[in-house]
Each structure stands twice: as C-alpha cells, then as structure tokens.
Structure 1
Amino acid sequence: MATLDDAIDLITVLPEVVEGTRYGRPTWFVDGTGFAWERPFSKADIKRFGDDPVPQGPILALAVDGLDDKAAALDAGNDGVFTISHFADYPAILIQLDVVDSGVLAEAIIDAWLACAPEPLAQGYLAQQRAD
C-alpha cells in the first residue's frame, strides 16, 4: 500500500529525473522521456470497465521496455498492477497505489526508469547499485 507521495519519493531519487506535465498531468521524465505519470481514469475509461469494479485511489502509469515486459509484469499477478483496454498495445502498466505492495512499486518504478534512461546512465546506476 502506497500513496502518490510515496511514489514521488521513489521516483525523484533516481538520477536525472525531471518533473513536468504532459496532457495536464504530473509526469516524470528522464532524458526527455516520460517514464511515470499520474493517470486518472477518463469517463471513457470508466465506461469501458462495464460491470467490473473500477480501481479506486491514485493510479500511476509506468513505462515498460516493450510489450513482452508488460506481459511479464501483468502475469506476475501482483495486486494493484493492471492495464486497461486503452493501453492494450502500449508499453506501460498501471499501478493502483493504495493496493500495490511497496516493494513491487519500487521495483516497477526502477524498471520504468531503466526502460527510458539512456544506456550509459542506466548502466552507471546499475553499477552503483551493485557496489552499494
């Protein structure tokens, strides 16, 4: 279970992260690429849920490194990790912050950052993590 502030804390400690907006929503970028953004549901999104319950609370979208990584993240079966039909062929997952495990959230945020960071920056980060 996490809050948006918890997620922001995890995001902003990563190297070279810049906060901005995209489509009027808070978005976090590395090297000009958005890797995490707040993603409230639109009326159309809510309608697509039909009779299924609509996830409540803050929703964070996170980039993934392709559709295979998206499938793997979804297949892991972690509570609070999901997608919607609007994202069907888009390399991103959605995180229901008030449901997801904090460790799962942290790993997903790092994976999103790694998917978008320039290779030298990502490799430097990973080397530093191994050294720590």
Structure 2
Amino acid sequence: MTESARVPARPDDVDEICAALPSTELGTSWGDRPTWKVPAGGKGRGFVLYRAPGPTAIDPETGERYDDLLVITTANLADKAALVEDESTPFFTIDHFDNYPAVLVQQSRLGEMTRDELAEVIQDAWLAVAPKRLAKEYLANGQ
C-alpha cells in the first residue's frame, strides 16, 4: 500500500478532487447551494453538492440539523446501497433521498476514509453524470 493510500480525507480534498476532473466547475443548484457540475457551462449536471441544513436531515443522536453535509451522486441505487450498507464508510441516506441515486456524508467524518477512497467515490459521481463522450475519453486516458 502506498503512503498516499493511507492519508485520511479532509474537507478541502473535496474541492481539489472535483476541480481536477475534466470540464468541471463550481456553480450553484437548489437555489444557492455550491455544486460541482460537469460539463462546465450552462448544461452542467451536479455530482457533488454542499447541502444546506434542513428539516429533512437531522442527526438522530443530537436532534440537530446536519450543518456540514455533502450530497454525492451515485451511478444507480445499487451503488448507493453498497456505500450506505458498508459499515466501514461514513456514507448514509435520509428519507428525502429515497429512490434517488445519491449518498450523504458529513464533512466532519471524511477522515474516516482515505483521500484515495473519497477520490474514487467522487470520480464515480462524475462518471455518473458526465457526458458519455467525455467520460469515455477520461477512462481511455487511464483514469
């Protein structure tokens, strides 16, 4: 295992990983929420969103609204289930996202996975919404 494979993920890694993917931009969606989109420009689709605290996402232990949630797209509901059901990851879902291919994670819990693991999940999110030609070119280049 390489040294980089053991580095814990940090909140700052999210933007670094997203920005390194082809044709991405940090825009907004859901009104004013910072959202990483692909492709850059008006037709971009979100793959990572910084979610605002809301009444549908409550910490079951404290009863408080989560204030540091990321929403990360998954390719399908099976991939979502695999991430949520894997107890070694900090990913979860809420009723609001039933039947929607995305997982949630608290930024404060990103260190429970490595940067490489986070990069893989974000890359998969990017691949799920990127235009097919762009995704094919990216994969053909050994990514």
Bin for the TM-score computed over the shorter chain? 0.7 to 0.9
Name the % identity: 39
Q: Partner of 1:66 in structure 2?
A: 76
Match of 2:51 among 39, 45, 49: 39
Match of 1:124 among 113, 117, 137: 137
Cα offset, 1:55, TM superposition? 8.2
Q: Cα deviations across residues 28-52 of structure 1 (Å, max 9, x unaligned)? A: 1113111111013303422xx5x53
Q: Distance in 1 between matches of 2:56 and 2:67?
A: 17
Question: Structure 1 segments of 4 or more deviating over 4 A?
Answer: 53-57
Q: Partner of 1:52 in structure 2?
A: 61
Q: Partner of 1:29 in structure 2?
A: 37
TM-score, reference length from structure 2: 0.77
Q: Which amino acid aligns with 1:4?
A: P
**What is the aligned residue count?**
127
Q: Distance in 1 between matches of 2:116 and 2:68?
A: 17
Q: Which amino acid aligns with 2:36?
A: W
Q: Partner of 2:23 in structure 1?
A: 16
Contact map agreement 2:54 2:65 (CA 8 A) in 1: no
Match of 1:115 among 105, 120, 128: 128
TM-score, reference length from structure 1: 0.83
Cα offset, 1:2, TM superposition? 3.7
RMSD of Structure 2 on Structure 1 (CA): 2.1
